[in-house]
Structure 1
Amino acid sequence: MDFEPITRPLTDDEAKAEAERIIARSFQPEMPPVRHIPTSFRDDTPLPAYGDTPPVHQDDKRIVPAWAAGIAVASIGVGAGITGVGCGAWLVLQGLASVTLYGVLMVTLPFAGVAMVATAIGGAFSKARRSVSKTVYEGPVTQNTQINNTSNQRGMFSRTRNDVR
């Protein structure tokens, strides 16, 4: 180590000198800087002999195609929509995770209401389709009580035929 620890508090001048030494040492390059890959812009103006170079205006010639901008906007919209759907599903599942009698009733209540409405509509259609007719049959009524029985049995199969006349 090139310094010895100080056990007493530093004065303001000593602290300033120590801070400058630490900052100067940490910003000293230990190896030569890496050469960067040149860009497509080349500035041919001569560099000044000392000091910083003045800024040079560089035109921005990037063009974003309309389809790329559309896809970017659509992907942001889809991502926001899916996030909303996911949050809604999370809330529903959080509510269903604490199963109580009231929770089960609240979940099944909409389904029971829809079933009740569907049953009422079906009953109304059924009654509307049913025709109202009061048919009066007039004429002679004949009742036949003669039954003609024929049976055939061969082997293990048998056949019985009943004719009502």
Structure 2
Amino acid sequence: MYPETTPDTLRPDARMTDDEAAAEARRIIADAYRPTAYRDDTPVPAHGPTPAVAQPGRPPMSQGATDASVLMLAGGATTAMVGGTAAVLMYVSQFADPVVCGLVFGAPTALVLALARLAKRAKNVLPEEHHHHYEGPVYQDQRTVHSRTTGVWAKTNNQH
């Protein structure tokens, strides 16, 4: 491919002295380690005629809308899985009653929803459980402060 270069194959006028070769080597090494940089100083326009491009993924929306969207997607996926399982069961068995399948597959969902509502209501009914272990005399002051803020100028009344 490339002819091998040796001192014998170089032209006689292309040979360098040892001092010239050392100086050339220092120049090449200095050029190799010299940092290079480019700075584009052209001003960036504040805005242009190009319209905004829709980015991939979910469109921008509020946090509440995002949370509701995720809940709807999860509910839809769950419904599709339960309904698909019931449909496959009815198709494979060839004699499954749709009402019975609806009860069998709908009962766990109804039970979970009922338990979730019960737990939500019972959360505030139960007192908080405190475990304290003390050594020596202890004075405990437990107060409940009810605060109410009303008015345009936000007057706050704290009552013990």
State the structure with more CA Rg: 1
Question: Shared topology, TM-score over 0.5?
Answer: no
